[in-house]
């Protein structure tokens, strides 16, 4: 799928080994299904995007949920104006870096999530 940030995201994907939260696959597939449903892409493009997603997900490291991550996500909701899924994503990033975000890159496309990640010490790249 082509979006304004596609080329930039691909460059970062080649530069950084991706670490994602456990629901990333579902989030990305949701974007494909939504684009197909709204007519932004056709069936052939949706099939191609789904195949690409299936290929790239084997190259990422996935952070799985546990009680510590869930509690961390709840605490993040008290500190920042995030949606539930964004707090889980940020908690997964903190889990990945053992709660030491300085020097770690956080890539996202959501301004509120980027602001929260930056406030925690991540080097943020907003797509």
What local confidence, expressed as pLDDT, does residue 1 receive? 56
> How does the average pLDDT of the chain come out, rounded?
92
What is the mean predicted confidence (pLDDT) over 53-62?
90
User: Is a pLDDT exceeding 90 seen at residue 111?
Assistant: yes
Could you identify the residue written with the tokens 């925690």? 120
What local confidence, expressed as pLDDT, does residue 109 receive? 87
What local confidence, expressed as pLDDT, does residue 2 receive? 66
Could you identify the residue written with the tokens 């996935």? 62
What local confidence, expressed as pLDDT, does residue 18 receive? 87
Could you identify the residue written with the tokens 């301004």? 111
Read off the pLDDT of residues 17-31 as tens digits, 9 standing for 90 and up. Answer: 889 999 999 999 999
User: Is a pLDDT exceeding 70 seen at residue 97?
Assistant: yes
Q: How far apart are CA 17 and CA 19, in angstroms?
A: 7
What is the mean predicted confidence (pLDDT) over 36-65?
94
């Amino acid at each position: 799928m082509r979006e304004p940030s596609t080329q930039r995201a691909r460059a970062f994907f080649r530069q950084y080994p991706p670490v994602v939260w456990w629901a990333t696959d579902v989030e990305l597939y949701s974007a494909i299904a939504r684009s197909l449903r709204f007519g932004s892409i056709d069936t052939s493009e949706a099939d191609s995007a789904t195949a690409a997603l299936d290929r790239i997900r084997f190259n990422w490291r996935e952070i799985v949920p546990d009680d510590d991550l869930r509690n961390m996500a709840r605490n993040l909701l008290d500190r920042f104006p995030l949606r539930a899924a964004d707090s889980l994503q940020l908690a997964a990033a903190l889990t990945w870096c053992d709660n030491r975000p300085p020097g770690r890159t956080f890539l996202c496309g959501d301004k509120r999530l980027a602001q929260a990640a930056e406030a925690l010490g991540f080097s943020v790249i907003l797509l």
